[in-house]
Amino acid sequence: MAWYHLVGVGGSGMSALAQVLIGRGNKVSGSDRNFDLGVNTPLFDWLSSGGIQLFPQNGSGVTQEVEAVVVSAAVEESIADVVKAHQLNIPIRKRAEVLAELLNNSYGIAVAGTSGKSTVTGMLGYILTWAGLDPTIISGGAMKNFLLRGRPNNMRYGSSSIIVAEVDESDGSIVNYHPKVAIITNISKDHKDIPELKSLFQTFADQTKEKIVVNEDCQHISSLHLDQNRTISFSLEKDLSGGPISSGSSYRADKISLKPDGSSFECGEHPFRLKVIGLHNIANALAATAAASYLGVPLATIAEGLAEFQGISRRFDLIGQVQGIRVIDDFAHNPDKIAATLEAASLLGSRLIVLFQPHGFGPLRLFQKELIDSLTAGTSEQDLIFLPEIFYAGGSVIRDISSKDLVQAIQARGRRAWYGESRQELLPLMIEETRPGDTVLVMGARDDTLTLFCQQVLRLLEEKYGEV
């Protein structure tokens, strides 16, 4: 048994890793900036009840008994826990390094891609669980099918050698993984430019031991150099017989039907039904289907599992309704994800009240134009768009760009948009403008309090319409 201290233990990736380490008999402690600020206390109470000892992020949790301090790529060297670890000569390990060690030493299935990987991880993990294969699942989002102490969990601990894990390209750590099976959902501009991303995904594919499941509809994946004998492809658009990527198995969706309460399609002449909405979730389901089928799960069993899949928290997550107004919480933060979320929202047939919180100065600087394109293309003149200032998670950063720049460009394209220094500044106008039948859609990443904001919006709408 080892003692791990996780810095930023409240993060979606860190909290999942913490629980897996405990499941394997280790001692786990942690600290988090939000814990110190008293933000999202239900999360930290929940983690503590699971055996994770929480400390202030002042170095007090790092003692000589700790055998490794685990940090994410975003943690600064100046944080007191890291400084203390250096003083005590305690090894400092990246989260991705520890996760890669777990996955590489198991029957690892690594789910990668710019968009959709949390949902695919949850879908595949649930299919394998439904089929009795008892996997361990490590996701970047809380899975509604797997409740632990009353709330959706971002991991499931299984007894088999199978680990299904979401892996990240944004910090370059994807090259640490040598999985048995890899899934690449798509490659698009996010955190890094396309040439750098393609190089990372190429290395990831080359290091995969058995099979690579890829999206044939993504042009950047199509330009990778893949071994056709080890590649399985899926598509929403193409006839895959004799396709350029895969000379082996392929999975295509036919007879697609998109509805406000889910969707249906056929694959291999077998009917599939999903509770999660949007065309992008059919693509996610195909990716999970291809991987599960390779592991020997029959299509009928896969379809049964997917029909019961409840979704991932903060992925088009309905927080509640009042007077026909839906309040939806979503993780969308890059252009492709925003486009997919707005396309799914269009199925609801209602006016949109959109609040989008950019998740960092660097990302906004990287794809400002593409964000403007997605927000304007996915909305109409009747919709309302609200942008608070860019989310700041701490550390040194150049603040040479603002959400105000996006608002001005969006307004110039004929959309109704407002800027505010904070969400709370925009909130009264949002509530005032929202009327029965509208959909309030809150989008953004990295900030766990966005869900709390959605709950606040719902409460204020209930007060406005007398449904308290």
Measuring CA to CA, which residue among 268, 260, 265 is closest to residue 284? 265
Render pLDDT for 91-114 as a digit per residue (tens, 0 to 9). 999 999 999 999 999 999 999 998
Question: Which phi and psi angles does 19 have, rounded to 5°?
Answer: -70, -35
Asked, colleague to colleague, whether 3-93 and 317-464 share their fold, the answer is no
- Do residues 284 and 185 lie in contact, with contact meaning Cβ atoms separated by under 8 Å? yes
User: What is the rounded CA–CA span in Å between residue 400 and residue 439?
Assistant: 33
Q: How far is CA 155 from CA 52, 141, 246, 411, in A?
A: 15, 9, 32, 42
Render pLDDT for 438-465 as a digit per residue (tens, 0 to 9). 999 999 988 888 999 999 999 999 999 9
CATH class of 317-464: alpha beta
Render pLDDT for 160-184 as a digit per residue (tens, 0 to 9). 999 999 998 877 889 999 999 999 9
pTM value? 0.92
Q: Which fold has domain 106-307?
A: UDP-N-acetylmuramoyl-L-alanine:D-glutamate ligase (3.40.1190)
pLDDT band at 84 (very low <50, low <70, confident <90, very high): very high
CA 135 distance to own-chain centroid: 20
Strand partners, 166: 111
Measuring CA to CA, which residue among 242, 283, 278 is closest to residue 262? 278
Q: Is the pLDDT of residue 423 over 80?
A: yes
Q: What single-letter DSSP state applies at residue 159?
A: S
Question: Which phi and psi angles does 127 have, rounded to 5°?
Answer: -60, -45
User: What is the rounded CA–CA span in Å between residue 127 and residue 304?
Assistant: 8
Judge residue 394's burial from the number of C-beta atoms within 10 Å of its C-beta, 0-12 exposed, 13-18 middle, 19 or more buried: exposed
User: What is the rounded CA–CA span in Å between residue 146 and residue 148?
Assistant: 7
**pLDDT at site 149:** 86
Measuring CA to CA, which residue among 172, 175, 155 is closest to residue 12? 155
Helical segments of 214-263, H only: 219-222
**pLDDT at site 76:** 82
Q: What single-letter DSSP state applies at residue 229?
A: G
Sheet containing strand 439-444, strands side by side: 317-322, 325-330, 439-444, 352-357, 384-388, 416-420
Residues 374-403, mean pLDDT to the nearest whole number: 87
Q: What residue type is 113 in one-letter code?
A: G
pLDDT band at 239 (very low <50, low <70, confident <90, very high): low
Beta strands in 276-323 (DSSP E): 317-322
CA 174 distance to own-chain centroid: 15
Give 3-93's CATH code, choosing from 3.30.70.100, 3.40.50.720, 3.40.980.20, 3.40.309.10: 3.40.50.720
What are the residue ranges spanned by the domains of the chain?
Answer: 3-93, 106-307, 317-464
Separation of first and last alpha carbons in the chain: 50
